[in-house]
Structure 1
Amino acid sequence: MSERIPAQSAADAQPPLIWPSGYPDGYAVVDVETTGLARDDRIVSAAVYRLDARGEVEDHWYTVVNPERDPGPTWIHGLTAEALADAPLFPQIAEEFAARLAGRVLVAHNAIFDWSMIAREYARARLEVPVRQRLCTIALSKELSLPLPNHKLESLAAHYGVVQQRAHHALDDARVLAEVFRPSLHLAARQQVRLPLLACKPLSEWSDSVVSRADGGTDGGGRRSYGRGYATWRPTRKRPACPYPNPGRYEPGRRLIQGMRVAISGDTSVDRELLEDRATEAGLHIASSVSRLTSLLVTNDPDAATSKVLKARAFGTPVIDEGAFTQLLQDVAPAPEG
């Protein structure tokens, strides 16, 4: 049942707000600062603002984390190796972090990044993060058609008149996000908008890759830029070209055939690179996007409005989940001769 609650102000001429019955019971607004943007980068600080069902702040929490490696872009997050030397390791804060996420929807700005970094840290620690859904405030602002010049956090903050005090400090970024999320949530409720919730699938299998610093930190060699001032010093990973021609679309109920173009969308229970490696070793072509030539899309969330899912629908590309794909990988048919 829907609950009628009073409007926020007596001066508000809008009708009383009827809160949608299907909205979540609580949220964890999260921000993490990291050593970079790659899969083997680490968290250096984390903050959580816990909100109730209507976006009111319950409490907040912040910690720094020793990443056990170079802290990366200190000119952005301000955390040096010296400052992090005595900070706790991630496994030491994992339980408290999890307690603040448990039973809530994870909210973040560009939530796939924060969730991916958190999921990887828990996988490294051989622990499971208690999050089952996430909400990206970028996706929500698009659903609400907010008049923003772009979808940066500072633009969203300016729209709601929220003042940023320390940009790229996890605690202040989380505070700003919590303050802009509340009016966005109420606007969504007033418009009866379906929240853009996505499933979070914790990693069940993880393998640390070799981390190498190509040239001692200079600008040459393997330095790889990620934009927004972020950088990491890992060589770019390139997959070998698939040696087989594309045999066409996958036919449901039949075997995969070497050379098929496979795209993967959303969270996977096996680390994405491991899953892609297995597909490549089986003779499949891993595609970064979906086109008319794509043989198959693998996703655990076929209802998500991601670009890959939407294109797959438009092109009629077959869609299966990770479990079915993993089974099919065990018996891939050889490429046709000639």
Structure 2
Amino acid sequence: MDRQPGFAVVDLETTGFSNTDRIVEIGVVLLRPDLTVERTWETLIQPGCDIPNSYIHKITATDVVDAPAFREVAAYLGSLLNDRILVAHNAAFERRFLTNEFARAGAEDGMREWLDTMRLTKQHLGVGRLSEALTIAGIHNRLAHSALADAQATADLLSYLHTNYRAVIANVPPALFTTPAAEVQVLPRGGAASWAGQLSRTLPTTGTKDEAAYRAELTRALIDRTISRTEIRQLEHTAIAAGLSADDVDAINEEFTRQLAVEAWSDGVISDDERTTLLNIAQALGVEPVLVRSLLDDPVTGPTPSNFTLRPGDRIALTGAMDIPQEEWAYRATAAGLDVGDVTKKCALLVAANPDSMSGKAQKARKYDIPIVGETTFAQLLSAIDHNSVTEESSEQVEDNTEYEAPEQFSWLSPEHVRTTGTSTSRIAAAWIALHPTKPLHEMADNLQPHHVPEVTGRGIDRYLAVWSLEHPEMLHASADDLLDLPGVGPKRRSQLVEMVVDLAADGVPDDVAATEPAFTQPSPNPVAAPRPVADPPAQAPTAPTPEELLAAANAPHYTPAPVQSSWHAPAPAEPAPVPVKRPNAAKVFKWSAGLGVACFFLFGLCIETFDPDAESFIAGVFVMGVLLSGLTAAISGVMALINLIRGK
């Protein structure tokens, strides 16, 4: 008698739905042949790209900073799946993504057929969605859209269907992976380990030490008085490259904490925000909370870290879709005497919507050791600029740079256009919509390809990115006019979406390489800024990752976009213009009218041949009117469609 294999129930969370999207979380539940649980396995995955649908699965770029890449877990995942029947709900989705990821990693793909619980629930319960099937079965999913929780719920559903409906679960060939693999280091959701503890195991105990490099890196990281996960990783690399021991790092971290306490006491008062900020920094650096509380109890004195300041004439760069539009930040920076442009070695600061962003500008800034801060910190730095030092010459230079400079990627912009748009992403987007509404968006810039994906904002517009990716798997094949056909997208949201493509081109598309960790170089000193309160993360609208619910969410009035300039040649209006009613496309009207006319003609003929040879009945009259009206509508819309075709619309 043949041995019955066990089962491997798999669930994935991904960056989207197209073949160019990547896995961000894997959950596996291993079942014995009798469907009892043998063990579970889960990990977050570093996709090496942006995550535009964090509002669905709640996984952000910050969460996966320390996560392994798929290529690092591929062989071990294969060993888990080996000799087991693969199970998933909507198995075609899991199979497609795993096939693509195994191919990218150059790893063995031993998957064969899958057992699909969605097919079984349709057969036995009359529903297809996992949530509906779980409700009927009385199964609780502890955390929907979490890979392991969804896999556990699917495993329970499989057992329920087999026990109560005798669902057929055998006669499926098991997976066959032949490559042996040892267990790998993983990062479960919410399971990030203390970086200080990991660092103590990797740092050398002897050797040449370069404490100045680590101090400079720590100074740069603490500009905004928070330490992001990317900055923690960068501190690790710097400490290792500098030859520091764990004791060296602890001493420097404590010294910095003491200096920050001195600075906080400089005005004679420790505010609640300052106390909270210092305690959070101490926790991130592994400094004993008891020491920090003792420093906060009484005023202390001593040397303080020098303050990071911006000076008129300094260059700053902007990246990401921010709470306040980039154009407004650029205006404020220019008014303060700063030079707003691309990231170069002379750039003093990069302002990012998310300091953990993997945009092209952010990667370049880390390469050049340029500090990266959020909007709140930048606002404080702007207010601290010494405006008395703005010279007439520097003001004229900044004005010239910002008025006429445009990113070189946009070769379609003529000199006249450049004088109007400058570097404003919203004006460049409006110019593209006005001049090239029917061209594919990837033709906007020389560095764009059809498969590139705009960077996530973390705000309401992300739901329309998801709908866009469903309608157009290669998103930048779509034109600006095509975006108007998306549910819930009118002229304003179209302008926002096109502006995100402009941002993608201007920031520089990240390299699609296997290695996901940024390259770190020896940092250069940068001073520290004044403390600031930690901004609350933006609220995210919950939704489900099914196409139907995404389309429904697109029409829900949960988000009101910021006003976007409607014309490339004029300033943005003070009040947003009303969104015009979207009218049907002439070609579509022609198609439906012609079809209706043919149907009415056919039914009229059938009526004459059967019960009304003289065509005197009311029904016959209705069919005649249908033929006449649809014929007239088809003629008019056909002429309009032909005119639009000739005009290239």
The TM-score normalised by the length of structure 2 is 0.29
Q: Is the 8 A contact 1:65 1:90 kept in 2?
A: yes
1:11-26 residue pairs with structure 2 within 5 A? 24-26=4-6
Q: How does 1:88-127 map to 2 (within 5 A)?
A: 88-127=68-107
Q: Is the 8 A contact 1:50 1:57 kept in 2?
A: yes
SS in 1 for 2:467: strand
Q: Provide the rounded CA distance (Å) in 2 between the counterparts of 1:69 and 1:80.
A: 11
Shift of residue 24, structure 1, vs aligned partner:
4.9
Contact 2:50 2:456 in 1 (8 A): no
- In structure 2, the residue matched to 1:235 is 476
Equivalent positions of 1:126-165 (< 5 A) are 126-143=106-123, 145-146=124-125, 148=126, 150-165=127-142
Alpha-carbon distance in 2 for matches of 1:63, 1:72: 19
Flag the 1:128–1:80 CA change in 2: closer, same or farther, 3 A.
same
Residue ranges of structure 1 left out of the alignment (5+ in a row): 2-20, 203-208, 239-338
Tell me, yes or no, if the aligned pair for 1:65 and 1:87 is still in contact at 8 Å.
Answer: yes
SS in 1 for 2:149: helix
- Partners of 1:224 and 1:231 within 8 A in 2: no
Picking from 49, 52, 56, the partner of 1:72 is 52
State whether structure 2 residue 192 is matched by structure 1 residue 212.
Answer: no
Give the 3 Å change call, closer, same or farther, for CA 227–139 of structure 1 in structure 2.
farther
Which of the residues 57, 62, 84 maps onto 1:82? 62
CA distance in 1: counterparts of 2:25 and 2:137, whole angstroms: 26
**Letter of the aligned partner of 1:177 in structure 2?**
T
Contact 2:84 2:175 in 1 (8 A): no
Check the 8 A contact 1:30/1:47 in 2, yes or no.
yes
Distance of 1:172 and 1:93 partners within structure 2: 20
What is the rounded CA distance, in whole Å, between the counterparts of 2:43 and 2:455 in structure 1?
31
Aligned CA distance change for structure 1 residues 186 and 25 (closer, same or farther; 3 Å): farther
1:246-261, aligned counterparts within 5 Å?
none
- 1:161-181 deviation line (CA, Å, top 9, x unaligned): 111111100011011111111
Structure 2 residue 277 is the aligned partner of structure 1 residue 36 = no
Query: 1:48 & 1:40 partners in 2: Cα distance?
Result: 23
Deviation at 1:211, TM superposition (A): 3.4
Distance (Å, rounded) in 2 between the aligned partners of 1:118 and 1:136: 15
Alpha carbons of 1:123 and 1:227: their partners in 2 closer, same or farther (altered >3 Å)?
closer
Tell me if structure 2 keeps the 8 A contact 1:225–1:232: no
Match of 1:278 in 2: none
- Contact 1:162–1:179 (8 Å) recurs in 2: yes
Equivalent of 2:40 in 39, 49, 60: 60
> Which whole-Å CA distance do the structure 2 matches of 1:107 and 1:139 have between them?
11
2:412 equivalent in structure 1: none
Determine helix, strand or coil for the equivalent of 1:235.
Answer: helix
Assess, with a 3 A threshold, how the Cα gap between structure 1 residues 81 and 231 changes in structure 2: closer, same or farther: farther
Corresponding residue of 1:10: none
Looking at secondary structure, tell me which structure has more helix per residue.
Answer: 2
Question: Once the two structures are superposed, what CA deviation does each residue of 1:22-70 show, in whole Å capped at 9, x if it has no partner?
Answer: x951110000000000001000000100011121110000000000001
Q: Deviations over 1:123-168 (max 9, x none)?
A: 001112222221110112233x22x4x3111111112211111110
Question: How far apart, in 2, do the equivalents of 1:174 and 1:186 lie?
Answer: 18
For 2:30, what is the secondary structure of its paired residue? Answer: strand
Percent identity between matched residues is 30
Deviations 1:155-214 (A, max 9, x none): 1111221111111000110111111111213345x47x4758589899xxxxxx863235
| Equivalent residues of 2:27, 2:151 under 8 A apart | yes
Counterpart secondary structure, 2:72: helix
Take 1:163 and 1:49, find their aligned partners in 2: how far apart are those partners?
Answer: 16
Conserved 8 A contact 2:86-2:175: no
- Show the counterpart of 1:181: 158
CA distance in 1, matches of 2:111, 2:159: 20
Runs of 4+ displaced beyond 6 Å: 198-202, 215-218, 230-233
The aligned counterpart of 2:552 is none
After superposition, the Cα gap between the structure-2 partners of 1:24 and 1:108, relative to the gap in structure 1 and judged at 3 Å, is farther
Q: Give the letter aligned to residue 107 of structure 1.
A: V
CA distance in 2, matches of 1:162, 1:37: 27
**In 2 relative to 1, CA 107–66 (structure 1 residues): closer, same or farther, beyond 3 Å?**
same
RMSD of the TM alignment (CA)?
3.6
Provide the C-alpha distance between the structure 1 equivalents of 2:453 and 2:24, rounded to a whole number of angstroms: 19
Distance change in 2, residues 1:224/1:114 (3 Å): same
- The verdict on how the C-alpha distance between 1:226 and 1:62 changes in structure 2, with shifts beyond 3 A counting, is farther
Structure 1 distance, partners of 2:146, 2:92, is 19
8 Å Cα contact 1:109/1:138 also seen in 2: yes
The structural deviation recorded for 1:106 is 1.0
Q: What is the distance in 2 between the residues matched to 1:126 and 1:26?
A: 27
Which whole-Å CA distance do the structure 1 matches of 2:33 and 2:173 have between them? Answer: 17
Q: Alpha-carbon deviations, 1:241-295, whole Å to 9, x = none?
A: xxxxxxxxxxxxxxxxxxxxxxxxxxxxxxxxxxxxxxxxxxxxxxxxxxxxxxx
* Native 8 Å contact 2:85 2:174 kept in 1: no
State yes or no: 1:167 paired with 2:144.
Answer: yes
Query: How far apart are 1:84 and its partner, in Å?
Result: 0.7
Distance 2:465 2:114 in 1: 32
CA distance in 2, matches of 1:158, 1:105: 25
Equivalent residue of 2:145, what SS?
A: coil
Distance 1:237 1:54 in 2: 49
Does residue 46 (structure 1) correspond to residue 26 (structure 2)? The answer is yes
For 2:53, give the aligned amino acid: P
Question: What is the rounded CA distance, in whole Å, between the counterparts of 1:89 and 1:215 in structure 2?
Answer: 20
Post-superposition offset of 1:234:
2.4
Equivalenced residues, count: 205
CA distance in 2, matches of 1:59, 1:76: 27
Cα distance in 2, alignment partners of residues 227 and 179 from structure 1: 32
> 1:225 matched to which residue of 2?
467
Give distance in 2, aligned partners of 1:80 and 1:102. Answer: 31
Residue 60 of structure 1 aligns to which amino acid in structure 2? Answer: T
Asked whether the 8 Å contact 2:28–2:41 carries over to 1, the reply is yes
Once the two structures are superposed, the pairs formed by residues 233-312 of structure 1 within 5 Å of their partners are 234-236=475-477
1:174 and 1:153 map into 2 onto residues whose CA distance is: 11
Check conservation: 1:55, 1:185, Cα contact below 8 A.
no
- Residue identity opposite 2:27 in structure 1: A
User: CA 1:233 to 1:167, structure 2 compared with 1: closer, same or farther past 3 Å?
Assistant: farther
Structure with more of its chain in strand, by fraction: 1
